[in-house]
Amino acid sequence: MLQTIGRFLMGLLLGIILGAGGVWWLMSSGAADFMLKTSHYVQDLERRVADFGEQRNQLARQLEGLEGRLGKMAESYDALERRFRELTASKDATGATPGAPSDSSGSGHGTANPTPGSDDQL
């Protein structure tokens, strides 16, 4: 009985020593890297990372396009605002009150909102 327990403990100790040595060899030789790279999970993660990289590049291109369009919109808005201010200043310079219909002939025909098809259109 005692001899059986001794053999069991010696086998356990030998297994622990051989297991630790095998793990050390795998880590130092690069075989573990090969085993991990060929793993299904690692390959799936690498594929996902590549997909996310492509998606990030696509989103970066879209962002650049949106920034360009936003810049153009800002320029258009600035030009429109500048034109509005110029028109307002020119109306104020002629003495017209804001909101009142402008009638240059004094005949009363001109309206602020001409009807479609009339000859009084601006």
Higher per-residue confidence, 97 vs 66: 66
Q: Is the pLDDT of residue 4 over 60?
A: yes
Q: What element of type H or E holds 85?
A: helix 40-94
d(CA 17, CA 23): 10
Task: Report pLDDT digits (tens) over 80-98.
Answer: 999 999 999 999 888 755 5
Is the pTM of the predicted complex or chain greater than 0.75? no
When pLDDT is cut at 50, 70 and 90, the band that residue 108 belongs to is: very low
Domain residue ranges in the chain: 32-93
DSSP 104: S
